[in-house]
Chain A
């Protein structure tokens, strides 16, 4: 069973904008997937649907085998604990240290102080942020802030990671570094979906890419070279 599947998904916003139109695709566990397309194509909308920040107007969305159309409201938080989310603008809390920002979600899980500390240390080490644990976000560079945001998602050990233009505010080197980091997480087993409109990145990292245009899925390009993949679009 795929980790994620969309069947004829349409999203119409209250104003009447059709942000997604009849979109269908599947993602298997362990995949790395780019969501590409120009501004306004519906990339953010698609990612928001997957964590149920939005509800589809039509169609079926299955995540971890759960129907997001029919899921009980009280189950949504438990779904979200399995999905990491990274924003373009990092969204760090300015009055908390790096370690506190990273620990944010762990309090939800009811872990002990020890468990929280060890998970935070592990994530910070993973992202080469050890020396910055006690710093405030404002003292960090853009690349470091983005790594903190990724660490905040990672400490939850989510099987699925969604990143919405995580490189949008970074220069080329840092963008490349960020994708390398996500690729490393992916090799360790995390399924990654990253929205981007950076064609240089897309050329540099030839993963499977879904192209959206005005809400429609216009192309599902498999990874190249795609070991073991078929010709299916």
Chain B
């Protein structure tokens, strides 16, 4: 009972066609299911993109909680020691390290654009001895270490106090907000997923109802179970893949817009990054699995 490859291919195409026709059985419901799936996917992809943002903000916050206290050039070691132990005692201070001129220069060389560093003679890169002060995050003192920084600036030995552009405090607050937003997005996505799944199952059930007489006849005419089930699976898979695929594309668009807006308001860059090269195949695969599961649920329900 060998079935030639060609006739198998022909049958496959025929069954895909039947699956496509199934999409037209309940066009309104089909559209809704695809739309809901798309919204779900865009929420999930946004939540994931925001996850990257929250992580980056926290990281920046951690970096932002370090200030460099540049010292005037002739400050004797004893003075430096005294200043360090005084800072050590402050509630806002986690730790203090002394950076020599060379260490500071090395750090600058690391931060400056590499092509610039390569073209400069080493002495042209600025280097100044400094105290690197790690600040402690204290939720009970929301005003932050501003008072401490002001008092440092007033000291005679201090040349200048360098802070990162965005304060760690503010970044932490943003990270918390982003995290909350993410949780809300994910919760909505879960609700929508349940809703859209039930829509997918409903459309497939309608198709099964519509095809019931045909399936009975086909079974008697000698159709295999695979032949009978494939159109339904094709239909489910198409709904899932189109829905989730469109959703991820939509999510990427929204992420781009939001990202541009946030970058304009805050001094941040690459706020929301969506890796479409990963997200799209993932969404299509998830859509496939989801659609097949829907087809399975629908046909199980019909058999019961």
List A residues at the B interface (Cβ < 8 Å).
Answer: 51, 53, 74, 77-82, 85, 91, 93, 104-105, 107-112, 152, 156
Q: Which residues of B contact A (CB under 8 A)?
A: 1, 3-4, 7-8, 10-11, 14, 213-214, 216-225, 227
Asked if B222 contacts A110 (CB within 8 A), the reply is no
B221 CB contact (under 8 Å) in A74, A104, A110, A112: A104
Q: How many pairs, one residue from A and one from B, have CB atoms within 8 Å of each other in the complex?
A: 57
A82 to B214, CA, bound (A): 19
A221 CA / B1 CA spacing, docked (Å): 38
Task: Check A108 against B220 for contact (C-beta < 8 Å).
Answer: no
Within the complex, the shortest CB–CB distance from A226 to chain B, in Å, comes to 32
A109 to chain B, nearest CB (A): 8
Please report the C-alpha to C-alpha distance between residue A79 and residue B220 in the assembled complex, in whole angstroms.
10
Cβ–Cβ contact B220 & A81, under 8 A: no
CB within 8 Å for A93 and B223 given contacts A110-B7, A110-B8: no
Given contacts A91-B213, A91-B216, 6 further A-B contacts (CB under 8 A): A77-B227, A78-B222, A80-B219, A80-B222, A108-B221, A108-B222
Given contacts A93-B213, A93-B217, A105-B218, whether A112 and B10 have CB atoms under 8 Å apart is yes
B224 touching A77, Cβ below 8 Å: yes
Q: How far is the CB of A193 from the nearest CB of chain B, in Å?
A: 15
Q: Are A78 and B218 in contact (CB under 8 A)?
A: no
Q: Is the CB of A74 within 8 A of B224?
A: yes
A10 CB to closest chain B CB (Å) equals 23
B10–A85 touching, CB < 8 Å: no
Contacts known (A93-B213, A108-B227); A81 close to B221, Cβ less than 8 A:
yes
The 5 closest A-B pairs by CB, nearest first: A110-B7, A81-B222, A105-B221, A80-B222, A110-B11
- What CA separation (Å) do A74 and B223 show in the bound complex? 10
